Structure 1
Amino acid sequence: MTAITTPFAPLNRLGAWSADLALRVFLAWEFFESGWQKWNGENWFDQLQSAFPFPFNQLSASFNWQLSMWAELLCALLLLIGLATRFSALVLFIVTVVAIAAVHWPAHWSGLAELAQGYSISDHGFGNYKLPLIYLVALVPLMLNGAGKLSLDYLLQRWRR
């Protein structure tokens, strides 16, 4: 260890156990909240069914509503406890890409400058893909690295050895 790395040794040990936990809790909250709103709301997917990318545009709006609702609810809970984390993150990644394509991407844009205006939280006629893009970026480490040591995935892996 050097004088530069020594002060960070406790943070490195803590990070090995809990770095991915913050991402898991954040994403679990966001996706569960979205799924819960669908559970308690009315299906509005029929208004944008044609905007869904293939193969989801081939399914009924009702089926897509159920599919996204259950994916958001169940995968959020799995992320929270760190079980099937990579699979859950992948499913939520796909749900988010479909949401960007169908809801958040601008309907019309003619150049990168115009497309960049959609990188916002609120829609002013240019789309609003900033927040779903943040979710995609946050899901990538969970897909690549898994849940970390503070998870059921890690405990099950150790138990199998």
Structure 2
Amino acid sequence: MSLFTLNPIKTAFLQLDRLATWGWDIPLRLFLAWEFFESGLEKWHGDNWFEQIHANFPFPFNHFSAGFDWQVSMWAELIAPLLLLAGLGTRLASASLIVVTIVAMAAVHWPAQWSTLSELAQGYSITDHGFGNYKLPLIYLVALLPLALKGAGAFSVDTLLLRHGAAKKLA
């Protein structure tokens, strides 16, 4: 059966499926690379403000120095986005940014005190009015999860290396 004899809606969905197979991850990789690289550049050009919040860092990061945590965070936010752009080591890059984001949520964005779910829900915002502001980091986590779980799509260095390795094994 020809593609054009199908219902136009089914045809459109088949085309979307083909496009998704090839590049479902590209918008996520571009978005996350931009956001995290921008944050890394701010750290690169800024002063270490981790000293003021270091007591809020979760274990084991609270046992390192604020300077060490600043450097690790900065370099993760500079290198991992470049890896995401290339689709190289996508799962590892995503996992490292997930760790950075969880630490940031715990240290900066999570409400300091809350006793009810309605108080916690007030922190689901971009601005902090005393209830935290974990909305944006949560969006980053949700966007990073598919990349960490599935890796990069077909348009990536990961896939190119995988295909090259498979071709070598067959030869």
> Normalized against structure 2, the TM-score is what?
0.92
What letter matches 1:83 in structure 2? Answer: L
**Matched ranges for 1:1-150 at <5 A:** 3=7, 4-150=9-155
Give every structure 1 segment of 4 or more consecutive aligned residues whose post-TM-superposition deviation is greater than 2 Å: 1-7
What letter matches 1:9 in structure 2? Answer: L
What is the alpha-carbon distance in structure 2 between the residues aligned to residue 135 and residue 7 of structure 1?
Answer: 30
What is the alpha-carbon distance in structure 1 between the residues aligned to residue 70 and residue 132 of structure 2?
Answer: 21
SS in structure 2 of the partner of residue 48 of structure 1: helix
Structure number, greater radius of gyration:
2
What is the alpha-carbon distance in structure 1 between the residues aligned to residue 14 and residue 112 of structure 2?
Answer: 49
What letter matches 2:150 in structure 1? Answer: N
CA deviation after TM superposition for structure 1 residue 110, in Å:
0.9
Aligned-residue RMSD, C-alpha:
1.0
> Normalized against structure 1, the TM-score is what?
0.97
Summarize deviations over 1:23-71 as a string: whole Å, max 9, x none: 0000000000000000000000000111000000000000000000000
Provide the aligned length of Structure 1 versus Structure 2.
161
Specify the alignment match of 2:169 in structure 1.
none
What letter matches 1:27 in structure 2? Answer: L
What letter matches 2:31 in structure 1? Answer: F
